Amino acid sequence: MDVLPKWADVILIPLINLLLAFIISALVILAIGEDPVFALKTMIQGSLMSTYGWGYTLYYATNFMFTGLAVAVAFHARLFNIGGEGQATLGGLGVALICLSIPWPHWTIAIIAAMIGAAAFGAIWAAVPAYLQARRGSHIVITTIMFNYIAFSVLNYMLVNVLRPPGSQDPASARFPEGTNLPTFQEFFAQFGITAFRGAPVNVSFLLAVAACILVWLLIWRTRLGYEIRAFGHSESAAVYAGISPFRITVIAMIISGALAGMMAINNVMGEAERLVLNSVEGAGFIGIAVALMGRSHPFGVFLAALLFGFLFQGGAELGLWTNIPVQLIIVIQALVILFTGALDNMVRMPLERLFLRFRRVG
């Protein structure tokens, strides 16, 4: 029973949800005695009005594309992967181990190895909860939350006891060798004598994230496996009847999801920090949930939503610099987006459906 036309479902409802989230955020800003219009101007100024700002916006968007796609792929199999944070943390560990293992001659070789490392570590961290759900019936949401915390402990242990260079007090790995440093947009444009993106961390991984969006689209809508994942997500019993193994799809979907979340480390660990630090993920795994919900689990939607959150993240950082609004405002906006697009979806949908029904009867 599709009451709503497709455009209303994919465009209108997300926009209304987003609007509600922004209105409440504006009220929050008013309540703490600041000017929402000025705040918005500051955010746009800081994130979109210079190549420097865009450089950060795209850098954050790269992270969110990976984690957003991770959540989206799992959503298609009706699995809620809250473990993106832990999977990206482990992905960072994979990247660090690869980058520090041998003196890499050139970044093109290093990035392939690092991608495999990041994806493998992320995938393993997602495969265990998937296996436990499919074979032992433990709830994947709870297990992935627990795995987030376990991942922090693993990373903490590895940084303090294994990866920390001798003589250093900081719980962080050594700097990665020169041969692993990824080219940034700044360096790319500098080749042509153009000064752009100065000091901004956006790098070649952005292109990988865009490629990942396209590949995920192909996977979900153009391959047999993608069909099986969607069929399983729609109805487990129908999928079983069609000869699709729930165990296989649960594990494979989560492996792809975890690998995508892990790949985020290419951007933030290898591309930006160039060493592994504690809490390098900075909540990007959780923002992936908001991005996937906002983007309706479609790779193109995820791409747009990731850009939006990249803007919010960079704009929020600018707010922290130039106004009295703490950067935590972005967490509030993120929460409201998740709340309205994910949990209170029916609040907008039900009246809208009634409205459309009335029009249909008249017409």
Would you tell me which residues interact with other proteins (CB under 8 A)? Answer: 28, 32-33, 80, 82, 132, 136-139, 141-143, 145-147, 149-150, 153-154, 156-157, 160-161, 286, 289, 293, 324-326, 328-336, 338-339, 342-347, 350
CA distance 79 to 140: 7
> How distant, in Å, are the alpha carbons of 133, 211, 246 from that of 235?
17, 30, 10
DSSP structural state of residue 328 = T
**Is 56 or 286 the residue whose CB approaches other proteins more closely?**
286
**Is 71 or 120 the residue whose CB approaches other proteins more closely?**
71
Q: How far is the CB of 89 from other proteins (least distance, A)?
A: 13
Q: How far is the CB of 335 from other proteins (least distance, A)?
A: 3
**Is 110 or 333 the residue whose CB approaches other proteins more closely?**
333
Q: How far is the CB of 262 from other proteins (least distance, A)?
A: 19
CA distance 329 to 263: 27
Q: Indicate the helix (H) or strand (E) that contains 293.
A: helix 284-294
**Is 183 or 283 the residue whose CB approaches other proteins more closely?**
283
Contact 228, 72 (CB under 8 A): no
Contact 186, 58 (CB under 8 A): no
> How distant, in Å, are the alpha carbons of 152, 324, 337, 340 from that of 289?
19, 28, 10, 13
DSSP string, 184-210: BHHHHHHTTT---STT---BTHHHHHH
**Is 103 or 326 the residue whose CB approaches other proteins more closely?**
326
Q: How far is the CB of 233 from other proteins (least distance, A)?
A: 14
CA distance 60 to 330: 13
DSSP structural state of residue 183 = P
DSSP structural state of residue 277 = B
Q: How far is the CB of 193 from other proteins (least distance, A)?
A: 43
**Is 200 or 261 the residue whose CB approaches other proteins more closely?**
261
Q: Of 347, 117, 78, which is closest to residue 228 (Cα–Cα)?
A: 78
Q: How far is the CB of 86 from other proteins (least distance, A)?
A: 10
Contact 46, 314 (CB under 8 A): yes
Q: How far is the CB of 40 from other proteins (least distance, A)?
A: 16
**Is 307 or 344 the residue whose CB approaches other proteins more closely?**
344
Q: How far is the CB of 236 from other proteins (least distance, A)?
A: 15
User: Residue 5: what are its φ and ψ, rounded to 5°?
Assistant: -65, 160
Q: How far is the CB of 309 from other proteins (least distance, A)?
A: 13
Contact 181, 274 (CB under 8 A): yes
**Is 133 or 203 the residue whose CB approaches other proteins more closely?**
133
DSSP structural state of residue 12 = I
**Is 124 or 146 the residue whose CB approaches other proteins more closely?**
146
Contact 71, 126 (CB under 8 A): no
Percent of the chain that is helix, strand, coil (3-state, to 5): 75, 0, 25
